[in-house]
Amino acid sequence: MDNILEVKNVVKQYGDYTALNNVSLQVPKGSIYGLLGPNGAGKTSLIRIINQITMPDKGEVLLDGQKLNLDHVKDIGYMPEERGLYKSMKVGEQALYLAQLKGLSKAEAKKQLDYWFDRLEIQGWWNKKIQELSKGMAQKIQFVVTILHKPKLLIFDEPFSGFDPVNANLIKDEILELKKQGATIIFSTHRMESVEELCDDIALIHKSNKLIEGKLIDVKKQYRSNTFEIGIMTSNVEGLMYQLTQKFTVGQANFKSLNDDLKLEIQIGNSSPNELLNLLAQNGQVTHFVEKIPSVNDIFIQTVSK
Amino acid sequence: MSILALIIKREFIAKVRNKSFIVMTFLSPLLMVALAAFVGYLSTMKSDAKEIVIHDASGLFVKDFKNSEEYSYLDRTTESLASLKDSINAEKFEALLVIPKELDNKKLASEIKYISNESPDPDFVSDLESTIAKRLTKSNLEIANLDTLAIKNAQAIVKVSLSKASGEENVKGLNYIKVFIGAGFGYLIMMFIIIYGNMVMRSVIEEKTNRIIEIIISSVKPFQLMMGKIIGTSLAGVLQFVIWAIVGGILLTVASMFLGINITPPAAGMATTAAEGSLGNLQLYANEFFKLPLLTLVISFLVYFIGGYFLYSSIYAAIGAAVDNETDSQQFLLPIILPLMLAVYVGFFSVLNDPHGTVATTFSMIPLTSPIVMLMRIPFGVPWWQILISLVILFGTFFLVVWFASKIYRIGILMYGKKPTWKELYKWLKY
């Protein structure tokens, strides 16, 4: 598989504290990769190593098959969780400066800025100082600054925190657009709904160790419990319940339905779903039959609390 | 443009655009001139002469007191002492000088009284005493029947004429010029280090509190950022000094036109001709000033300035990186300010008394004090090898300190929310 980023057996220690314990990751090219983990798990340490802010004590990081070096700075765009810009500097100058630090020429940076200012409809902000902007406005600038130099790899640390829903959606669309253009995106987050929605791949880091990694769908398959939620309208509740409990593990389900029906959660173990469905169909009108897919949140909590 | 140049440019522009910088740059020379003019104006203003009432029962001294700009004398010997004392109490006059009638001069001398509400200027009192003493001496001589004229002729008046071995005429207080120049440069370096070092520190703290630091150092090396900051800030400072020098130069030219000092270096013979009178002295001072090793001074000022400033400001940068806000920086600032203060005190007390003594020489070698102390010594003539050694030590230390500072800086800028201790800073060096 074609990976844009490979982290190989990285160890990072601060004094006696181990922030990363032999962590390896593979980020496929063109994917949206969710780097998950509770606070203090080691996500930021890892991201700082990828950004060459700190060096790993052991192990190495490959970008596009090459060992990380200073030339890679221009290939990576990073938006830290703690956002910040120079408060008393004008928006335009600031963005130009930061883009030039990433290796863009002044003319190219100007061109890109004009494009993005147009696109996000913030043309009038060029001469404003950051301190005159609202928090949400400053976040837009922050986003532009991150992607201005068209990096191959974008790293967003908690990208949606601090955005109002409208702007969060706007940024989400832009991120998807960047993905379409070929960029790879790493999300570091503990907000699972955005992972569920956007990520193709995930890795879970907990207490300095990587616990899970893989395609989101594969991870989910791995965590599936062969449980089905069913809804059925039947006059023979007791008889049905008896038959079900003979064969499967049955519990109460809780989903929304328009019908006044019996809602159950049934774990079928190694039996085939058809077996369950047939049994239900013989006893009444099936209104609901869905495999219960583990949410990322479930997987997260289940793994972390293990 | 290289990354370092970009950072320097940004730091420079950020400093120069700052309102307080602009105000400081253009307002302070004007303020200095205005202050000088104001003081000058005040000193030309004359207050009314103070009135001294004389009650001279002996009648010997009344004619000896001559009115001056500051004091006028009123002879009220005819009035009663009691009423005169009352009028002193009523503050009608400044003071009352009571001289009793005594035949014995010794007794007379011990019974003269000066009565006033406010304590008198000691110079004035000693003038008063010498006026009376002169008259009494004369009277004593007459009583002893001595030839006063012969005695007067016998009195020798000595005025030592000062000159250098090279034969040129010297002026008392020429040392003061050297001291003044050296101290001026030394002081300038100290001020610059404190003002601009603090500026470097504040700008590091600003990046930390703004949280932009993580974005910046994902693009550049912390060392580049630190050096860019230090250089950019110092360039802003140099610009400020150049502006001050130009404005000062213009003012000096204007002032010298008024005072009639020839500021071009004089021809060899000229110095000896200008001798007497205050104007002559002024000319002599000016001549001496231009005979100082000015080129050496200016060059060494620049070199020591760069060494000293970089040394200190990298420490300032490290402190800025280690703390979260300016108040936390105080505990770390003391060890910086101390050697600077020490340098200035050593400069003022040791160098002036003995510019080539052990204390002065030692402190002009120690890197934390050498930029100031050595500059104060240079006007007195320092062997070149001493300057060389001191510079080697200074720049050696500079590289060492920058290396340490950049390590602390690298770790510190990513540490938030805790006030580090000295112990922790030491630990960071080992990360």
Written as one string, the DSSP assignment of B414-429 is T--S----HHHHHHHH
Q: Are residues A150 and A256 in the same domain?
A: no
**Where a domain ends, among A197, A221, A245?**
A221
Three-state SS at B94 = coil
Identify whether residues A115 and A212 lie together within a single domain. Answer: yes
Number of C-beta neighbours around residue A76 at 10 A: 24
Identify all chain A residues contacting B431, using CB atoms and an 8 Å cutoff: 14-15
CATH code of residue A246: 3.30.70
Are residues A269 and A206 both part of a single domain?
A: no
Candidates A52, A80, A102; nearest CB to B214: A80
**Number of domains, chain A:** 2
Confidence of residue A177 (pLDDT cuts 50, 70, 90): very high
CA of A170 to nearest chain B CA: how many angstroms apart? Answer: 22
Following CA atoms B396, B402, B408, B412 in sequence, which dihedral angle do they give, to the nearest 10 degrees?
170
Helix (H, G, I), strand (E, B) or coil at B255: helix
Residues A177 and A285 in one domain: no
β-pair type (B95-99, B50-56): parallel
Q: What tens digit of pLDDT does each residue of B227-278 get?
A: 899 999 888 888 888 888 788 778 767 766 765 555 444 444 444 444 444 4
Same domain? A208 vs A128: yes
Residue A299 lies in a domain: no
Distance from CA of B309 to the nearest CA of A (A): 25
Q: Out of A189, A221, A253, pick the residue that ends a domain.
A: A221
Q: What is the pLDDT of residues A113-154, one digit of tens each?
A: 999 988 888 888 888 888 888 888 888 888 899 998 889 999
Q: What domain range includes position A250?
A: 225-293
A149 and A42 fall within a common domain:
yes
pLDDT of residue B430: 65
Classify residue A147: in a domain, yes or no: yes
Give the closest-approach CA distance of B217 to chain A in angstroms: 6
Task: Report the C-alpha gap between B125 and A23 in whole angstroms.
Answer: 90
| Domain identity same for A288 and A236 | yes
- Residues in chain B with pLDDT values less than 50: 167-168, 263-278
Residues A189 and A244 in one domain: no
- In tens, the pLDDT along A58-117 reads 999 999 888 988 888 889 999 988 778 888 888 999 999 999 998 889 999 999 999 998
Burial class, B224, CB count within 10 angstroms (exposed 0-12 / middle 13-18 / buried 19+):
buried
DSSP state of A79: E
Please report, for chain B, the start and end positions of each structural domain, with discontinuous segments joined by +.
Answer: 50-154, 173-430
* pLDDT at site B30: 78
In sequence order, the β-bridge partners of residue A25 are A7
Q: Is residue A133 part of a domain?
A: yes
Instruction: Give the model's pLDDT for residue B274.
Output: 40
Q: For all residues of chain A together, what is the average pLDDT?
A: 87
Q: Do the chains contact at A78 and B215, CB–CB below 8 Å?
A: yes
In a domain, A301, yes or no: no
Q: Are residues A139 and A172 in the same domain?
A: yes
State whether A84 and B211 contact (CB < 8 Å): yes
Please name the amino acid found at residue A210.
K
What is the pLDDT at residue A184?
Answer: 93
- What chain B residue is nearest to A156 in terms of C-alpha separation? B215
Give the separation between CA B123 and CA B121, rounded to whole angstroms: 5
Task: Provide the pLDDT for residue B273.
Answer: 41
Nearest CA in chain B to A55: B431
* ipTM of predicted complex: 0.79
- What the block records as the tokens of B217 is 């150092």
> Are B114 and B88 within 8 A, CB to CB?
no
Domain identity same for A56 and A150: yes
CATH superfamily membership of B50-154: Periplasmic binding protein-like II (3.40.190.10)
Regarding whether A97 and A44 lie in a shared domain, the answer is yes
Over range A285-297, report the average pLDDT.
87
Of the three residues A188, A221, A254, the one that is the final residue of a domain is A221
Residue A300, in any domain of the structure: no
Q: ∠A183-A184-A190 over CA atoms, to 5°?
A: 135
Residue B345 to residue B343: CA distance in whole angstroms: 5
**Which among B395, B394, B431 is positioned nearest to B412, based on CA atoms?**
B431
- pLDDT at position B46 is 64
CATH number at residue A142: 3.40.50.300
Compute the distance between CA of residue A216 and CA of residue A200 in angstroms, rounded to an integer. 6
Query: pTM of the predicted model, to two decimals?
Result: 0.73
Percent of all residues in chain A with a pLDDT value above 90, rounded to a whole number: 21
B330 touches chain A (CB under 8 A): no
How buried is A305 (Cβ within 10 angstroms: 0-12 exposed, 13-18 middle, 19+ buried)?
Answer: exposed
